[in-house]
C-alpha cells in the first residue's frame, strides 16, 4: 500500500475503532435495506489484511460479510509466499502441500477468534468462502465445515469443480451446512458458469448443494440473472454483486450490462431474503472509497 494511502487508512482505522465500539454497545451494524441483507465478500478488500478489512467494513457501515479464506490463511499457511513481493500486482500462491497440511491440522481456535472479531465489530459473518477443488483430500474437505462452524458462519461458498460436489455433499449433509457453488464467466469443462453446470452438480443433492450466484459473471457468460433468480431463489444462499459488460469486462457499478438495480429490487419486492454481497473487482482508486461507492449504489437501489 502506498505511504499516502497507508496514512489515510490509519486515520480511517482509528475512526473505525470508535465506530466498532459503538456497534458493540448498540448491537450489530444494520445494513439490511428493504428486507435485503447487504454485505460484502471480503475479497473486495484483498489488498488489506483481515484487521484492515474489518475496519473498512465498519467504517463504511457494512453489517454482513462473506469471508474469503485467504484473509485467514495469508501469512499463516506459507509465510515465505506471503512475504514475497507481488508479481504483476498478484501475490504469490502458497505452496499447495503446505496449505493442505495447515488446513488439516490448524487449531480451530484460530477460527473461533476470527469469528469473535467479527462479532465484536458488529458484523454478521454469513458465509465462509472455502473453495473445494478436485485435489482436496477428504480431511481437507471436512475441515472446511469445521472451520465454518468455528467462525459461526451458516453457509459455505465455493469456487469449486463441478465434479467435487459429489464428494462435498456427504460432509454438507453431516454438518447441516449448505454449500453455494460460485459461477464464473469463462465456460470451461468442470467449472461453474452455465445453468447446466449448476444442474449437473446438484442432481440428487439439491438439499445441501446450492448456488452462490455471481450476477456479473452470469451476464459475462451470456445469461440472464433475473430469470435464474426467479426460478431458483430458494436455492441461492448468497448473491455476488458486481457489474460486467456482456463482453465480460469489470466496470464501475451502473456502467455495465449487469442489471444490479433490477436484481436487488426483485429480491426486495419478492421478499426472497437472499443476502447480496458486494464483490469489488473493477480497477478503481482507493479500495475503501470504491467499496463505499458500490455500497451506496446498492443501498440507493434498495431504498428507491
pTM of the model: 0.89
Return the pLDDT at 14.
47
Provide mean pLDDT across the span 280-289.
96
Give one DSSP letter per residue of 95-144, joined into a string. PHHHHHHHHHHS-THHHHHHHHHHHHHT-EEEEEE----TT--HHHHHHH
- End-to-end CA distance of the chain, in Å? 36
86 pLDDT tier (thresholds 50, 70, 90)? low
223 pLDDT above the threshold of 70: yes
Residue 94 lies in a domain: yes
* Domain count of the fold of the chain: 1
CA distance 288 to 11: 12
**Angle at which helices 260-269 and 287-303 pack, to 10 degrees?**
50
Distance, in Å, from the CA atom of 186 to the CA atom of 114, rounded to the nearest integer, reads 33
Are 286 and 8 a contacting pair, CB within 8 Å? yes
- Residue 183 parent element (H or E): none
- At 1, the pLDDT band (50, 70, 90 cuts) reads very low
- Residue 286 neighbours by CB under 8 Å, 6+ apart: 5, 8
Q: Is residue 15 part of a domain?
A: no
- Taking residue 159's Cβ as centre, other Cβ atoms within 10 Å add up to 17
Question: Is there a domain that residue 191 lies in?
Answer: yes
Across the chain, mean pLDDT equals 91
Flag whether pLDDT at 185 surpasses 50.
yes
- The answer to whether 266 and 228 have CB atoms below 8 angstroms apart is no
Q: With pLDDT > 90 as the criterion, what percentage of the chain qualifies?
A: 85
Residue 81 lies inside a defined structural domain of this protein? yes
* 20 within a domain of the structure (yes/no): no
Position 20 scores a pLDDT of: 45
| pLDDT given for residue 80 in this prediction | 76
pLDDT of residue 78: 81
* Phi, psi angles (nearest 5°) of residue 59: -60, -40
Q: What is the DSSP letter of 85?
A: P
Whether residue 26 is contained in a domain is answered as: no
Q: What is the CATH number of the domain that holds 73?
A: 3.20.20.150
116-136 per-position pLDDT tens digit: 999 999 999 999 999 999 999
| pLDDT score at 12 | 47
Q: Are 276 and 39 in contact (CB under 8 A)?
A: yes
Return the pLDDT at 90: 66
Examine residue 21 and state whether it is found in any structural domain, yes or no: no
Task: Return the pLDDT at 84.
Answer: 62
For residue 221, what is the DSSP state? T
Gap between the Cα atoms of 25 and 108, Å rounded: 27
pLDDT range class, residue 52, cuts 50, 70, 90: very high
At residue 79 the predicted structure's pLDDT band, cuts being 50, 70 and 90, is confident
66, 101 contact by CB (below 8 A): no
The C-alpha atoms of residue 290 and residue 284 are separated, in whole angstroms, by: 6
The domain of 172 spans: 31-303
d(CA 216, CA 184): 9
- 82 pLDDT tier (thresholds 50, 70, 90): low
Evaluate whether residue 152 is within a structural domain.
yes
Contact indicator for 36, 96 with CB cutoff of 8 Å: no
Cα–Cα separations (whole angstroms), residue 186 to 140, 194, 197, 222, 275 = 26, 9, 12, 10, 24
Nearest CA to 239 out of 43, 57, 38 is that of 38
pLDDT in tens, 254-283: 999 999 999 999 999 999 999 999 999 999
Amino acid at each position: 500500500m502506498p505511504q499516502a494511502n497507508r496514512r489515510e487508512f490509519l486515520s480511517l482505522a482509528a475512526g473505525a475503532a470508535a465506530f466498532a465500539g459503538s456497534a458493540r454497545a448498540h448491537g450489530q451494524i444494520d445494513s439490511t435495506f428493504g428486507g435485503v441483507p447487504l454485505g460484502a465478500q471480503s475479497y473486495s478488500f484483498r489488498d488489506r489484511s483481515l484487521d484492515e478489512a474489518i475496519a473498512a467494513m465498519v467504517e463504511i457501515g457494512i453489517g454482513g460479510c462473506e469471508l474469503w479464506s485467504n484473509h485467514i490463511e495469508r501469512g499463516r499457511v506459507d509465510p515465505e509466499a506471503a512475504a514475497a513481493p507481488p508479481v504483476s500486482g498478484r501475490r504469490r500462491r502458497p505452496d499447495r502441500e503446505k496449505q493442505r497440511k495447515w488446513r488439516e491440522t490448524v487449531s480451530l481456535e484460530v477460527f473461533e477468534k476470527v469469528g469473535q472479531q467479527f462479532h465484536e465489530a458488529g458484523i454478521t459473518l454469513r458465509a465462509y468462502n472455502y473453495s473445494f477443488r478436485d485435489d482436496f483430500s477428504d480431511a481437507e474437505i471436512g475441515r472446511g465445515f469445521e472451520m465454518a462452524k468455528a467462525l459461526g458462519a451458516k453457509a459455505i461458498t465455493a469456487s469449486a469443480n463441478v465434479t467435487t460436489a459429489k464428494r462435498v455433499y456427504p460432509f454438507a449433509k453431516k454438518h447441516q451446512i449448505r454449500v453455494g457453488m460460485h459461477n464464473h464467466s469463462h465456460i470451461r469443462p468442470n467449472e461453474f458458469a452455465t445453468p447446466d453446470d449448476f444442474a449437473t452438480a446438484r442432481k440428487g443433492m439439491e438439499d445441501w448443494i446450492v448456488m452462490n450466484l455471481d450476477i456479473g459473471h452470469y451476464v459475462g457468460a451470456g445469461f440472464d440473472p433475473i430469470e435464474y433468480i426467479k426460478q431458483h431463489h430458494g436455492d441461492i444462499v448468497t448473491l455476488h454483486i458486481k457489474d460486467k459488460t456482456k463482453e465480460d469486462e469489470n466496470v464501475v457499478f451502473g456502467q455495465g450490462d449487469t442489471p444490479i438495480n433490477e436484481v436487488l429490487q426483485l429480491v426486495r419486492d419478492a421478499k426472497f431474503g437472499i443476502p447480496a454481497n458486494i464483490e469489488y473487482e473493477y480497477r478503481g482508486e482507493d479500495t475503501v472509497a470504491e467499496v463505499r461507492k458500490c455500497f451506496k449504489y446498492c443501498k440507493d437501489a434498495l431504498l428507491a
